Structure 1
Amino acid sequence: MTDPLSRLLGDRPWLLADGATGTNLYNMGLAPGDAPDLWCESHPDRVRELHRQMIAAGADMILTNSFGANASRLRLSGAEGRVASINHAAARLARETVAEADRPVIVAGSIGPTGEIMAPVGRLTEAEATRLFTEQAEALKEGGVDILWIETVSAVEELRAAARAAQAVGLPWCGMMSFEPGGRSIMGVSPPQLATLVERLPHPPIAYGANCGTGPAELLLAISGFSAAGSERPLIAKPNAGVPRFQDGGLIYDGTPEVMAEFAVLARDMGVRIIGGCCGTTPVHLAAMHEALINRVSGGRPSTETISSRIAGAMADR
């Protein structure tokens, strides 16, 4: 247990990861359609402020503002030549903010999917995906991240490529797929298949699980599939704060802080070790999750019926 995340997991029954990056930056003035990653260089103070808010809300881990900072996705903004500088800045901003905290906080280098469809369905090969991820991972490492946080992946080939990138730069990592309501990723991967895959990788993750998706209830049902596969590796649950809808010219997520607090307790009682929120999860949501995790006692491992009814009940009470 030489890395900071493994040491914290060895000392604590659960850790609280942060909330959303992109959707919170939109609330701070990012224009719809603009790449959040570019704010690491153009608006660093606002990125630092979001990190500070997440830490103040109780986060034990913050993700760098680099989810889409690979060359393939940055090409959409004409910034494909700035991969190194953007990722280095993202890591540095997070590192500087963590240095202000009065407790240990992990800096996780966020790496999202390439935005391309992997071969043989699409044209992106594993070798090219590995090159894209390695370029990003090297800059995040140089900027000072503790671990790599590979998230919202849907294809086995893309996760393998990201794992090779983590191995190439010599960093520990965590990996997450996003699952649809039917229980599989967009590319057809099931939770038990992901559980089997991570154990076969030459450089396996510290922890793995699910993020994003269509809300906390569906994500917890996916998490139950990991448990059924018998994996003893620490699990991660980081769902969207419900489903978005357009309101007042912007996106509003229907998962209230109370809903996300209920999710956090259910995740903890399922044995999930790293709990957080994805799209729509604000510092207010995160603070409610933190309070619930500390103050609410365990009710035992919930069944799938209990998960559905308690989340639905919390939604009805809002």
Structure 2
Amino acid sequence: MACLKKGLLERLSEGVVVGDGSFILTMEKRGYATAGAWTPEACILHPDAVRQLHREFLRNGADVLQTFTFFCSDEQLAHVSDGINNKRNLTADGINAAAVDLAKEVAQEGGALVAGSVSPVSQVSFGKGKKYCQDAFRQQLTIFKDKGVDFLLGEFFNNVTEAEWAIETMVEVGVPVAFTMPLPPSGDILGVSVAECAVRMAKAGASVVGVNCIYDPAISLKSIALMKKGLEEAGLETYLMVQPLGYHTQDPGIEKYRTYAALPSWPFAMEPRALTRIDVHRFAREAYELGVRYIGGCCGFEPHHIKAIAEELAEERGRLPPSAPVGGSWKSLGLSHIKYCSKKTNWEYWENLKPTTGRELDAFTEFMPDD
């Protein structure tokens, strides 16, 4: 008799779950998505590219593969074009179905969980009220329910009211719900505090709550600390997760640079701000020590960043990622014929390194100052 795969909550109760990383941004950089539209039609048009990125995250230590369904609604797909504005005949249901099949296919290669990724509606749709929004969420959820994903993940919701509406709908599917918002320490887009957002998400039915995207690890961890405090004060036992942006997103004290979208370099000149693997090692350790047990990345988090999380937490997880040599990636530098590489074969060298970060201060020497 086949052994049943452990679910999300069981894995979290036992230790760390490593998430995956960037999909829509990475697919655009690789030539399989369109900037501006940011839609996942590649699931149908370029399935091998989607399959390969899933496989790279899995090989580098991801325990979860999210379906590539970000912004997948018929409303959003209306913006997709081929060549010079020749609209393709694509539907959200068709893309979502293909996305689940691709994620499940690759997940079976390494025992990973498949998360059905649920996206927010547009501002126009939100203005039409709760029933309209929840019907839109149910359209996304139908495919996930029919195809049997392991859990549901809401992400990129910047309004806690919409988050509550989505969670209330997601729990109807009968699988665990994880939910994240792109929150700075100041709160959601309407000024609701981070602590209150966390409490409201948990009370709506989410078993895992946290922060994703828009802000870098340093800012995201500050928000997570506020979430943790709010949940504790409310007497709620809810797992925490964090999947931040893979870039250093602001310079201290420059208000207009608080989000990635406000940066002049977004989205085509962000490389100088990209996190190094060492940054991600530090992020993973700080997140773990803060009590976060679901740790991954969002836009800008490449497979090698996920590898850094998995290597940093190898002792806690009881294993290295499949791609890592024995002892960790730095050990393999001993294979080099270049003599000065030998001093780099220990973690202390990398731990003490201070690489260029794209910001005035190192991201992990201190949290960002309060407003």
TM-score, normalised to structure 2, is: 0.73
Q: Which amino acid aligns with 1:294?
A: A
1:92 and 1:144 in contact (8 A); partners too? no
Q: Percent identity?
A: 28
- Alignment partner of 1:98 out of 107, 114, 126: 107
Which of residues 120, 132, 138 in structure 2 aligns to 1:113?
Answer: 120
Q: Counterparts of 2:282 and 2:125 in 1: how far apart (Å)? A: 36
The one-letter amino acid paired with 2:186 is G
Asked if the contact 2:160/2:188 (under 8 Å) is kept, the reply is no
- Aligned partner letter, 2:224: I
List per-residue Cα deviations over 1:73-95 (Å, max 9, x = no partner): 22333679712111111111000
SS of corresponding position for 2:363: helix
Partner of 2:207: 206
Is contact 1:238-1:278 (8 Å) kept?
yes
Alignment of 1:89-238 (within 5 A): 89-101=98-110, 104-116=111-123, 123-180=127-184, 182-201=185-204, 204-229=205-230, 230=232, 231-238=236-243
Conserved in 1, the CA contact under 8 Å of 2:9 and 2:176? no
Q: Which residue of 2 aligns with 1:311?
A: 363
Residues in 1 aligned to 2:75 and 2:193: alpha-carbon distance in whole angstroms? 26
2:182 and 2:215 in contact (8 A); partners too:
no
Q: 2: distance between equivalents of 1:81 and 1:169? A: 25
DSSP-derived class of the 1:152 partner: coil
Query: Could you tell me which of 57, 74, 78 is aligned with 1:75?
Result: 78
CA distance in 2, matches of 1:5, 1:219: 22
Q: Which residue of the other structure, out of 226, 241, 244, is the alignment partner of 1:239?
A: 244
2:314 maps to 1:294: yes
Q: Residue 275 of structure 1 is aligned with which of 285, 295, 301?
A: 295
Alpha-carbon distance in structure 2 between the residues aligned to 1:8 and 1:79: 41
Q: Does 1:85 align with 2:94?
A: yes
Maintained 8 Å contact 1:118/1:155: no
Taking a change above 3 Å as real, the CA distance of residues 295 and 10 of structure 1, as seen in their structure-2 partners, is: closer
CA distance in 2, matches of 1:80, 1:228: 48
Give the distance between the partners of 1:170 and 1:79, measured in 2 at CA. Answer: 34
Residues 27 and 294 (structure 1 numbering): CA distance in 2 closer, same or farther, change over 3 Å?
Answer: same
Assess if the C-alpha contact under 8 Å between 1:3 and 1:146 holds in 2. no
Cα deviations by residue, 1:174-209 (Å, 9 ceiling, x for unpaired): 1111113x52122322221112213432xx112111
Whole-angstrom CA distance in 1 between matches of 2:190 and 2:75? 19
Report the equivalent of 2:31. Answer: 29
Moved more, 21-30 or 230-239: 21-30
State the match for 1:42 in structure 2: 45
Whether the 8 Å contact between 1:263 and 1:311 is mirrored in structure 2 is no
**CA–CA distance in structure 1, aligned partners of residues 222 and 291 of structure 2:** 13
- 8 A Cα contact 2:37 2:79, kept in partner: no
Residues 160 and 201, structure 2, Cα contact 8 Å, conserved in 1: no
Per the normalisation by structure 1, the TM-score is 0.84
- Of structures 1 and 2, the larger Rg is shown by 2
Distance in structure 2 (CA, Å) of the matches to 1:82 and 1:254? 34
The CA RMSD measured in Å over matched residues stands at 2.7
Task: Please report how far the alpha carbon of residue 278 of structure 1 lies from its aligned counterpart in structure 2 after TM superposition.
Answer: 0.8
Q: Is the 8 A contact 2:285 2:313 kept in 1?
A: yes
* SS, match of residue 37 in structure 1: coil
Asked if 1 retains the 8 angstrom alpha-carbon contact of 2:202 and 2:209, the reply is: no
Matches of 1:214 and 1:17, distance apart in 2: 17
Contact 1:118 1:157 in 2 (8 A): no
Specify the code of the residue in structure 1 equivalent to 2:55: R
Instruction: Name the CA shift for 1:199/1:284 in 2 (closer, same or farther; >3 Å).
Output: closer
Deviation at 1:251, TM superposition (A): 3.8
CA contact 1:85–1:139 (8 Å) conserved in 2? no
1:232–1:167 Cα change, 3 Å: closer
Specify the SS of the correspondent of 2:219.
helix
> Which amino acid is the alignment partner of residue 267 of structure 1?
A
For residues 278-301 of structure 1, give each alpha carbon's deviation from its aligned partner in whole angstroms, at most 9, with x where no partner exists.
11000011111211122599xxxx
Structure 1: give runs of 5+ residues left out of the alignment: 298-308
* 1:255 match: secondary structure: coil
> Which letter maps to 2:183?
F
CA contact (8 A) 1:65 1:110 kept: yes
Once residues 20 and 288 of structure 1 are traced to their aligned partners in structure 2, the CA distance between those partners, rounded to angstroms, is 14
Q: Deviations over 1:100-124 (max 9, x none)?
A: 22xx3110011121132676xxx23
1:34 Cα deviation after fit: 4.7
More strand by share: 1
Q: Secondary structure at the match of 2:91?
A: helix
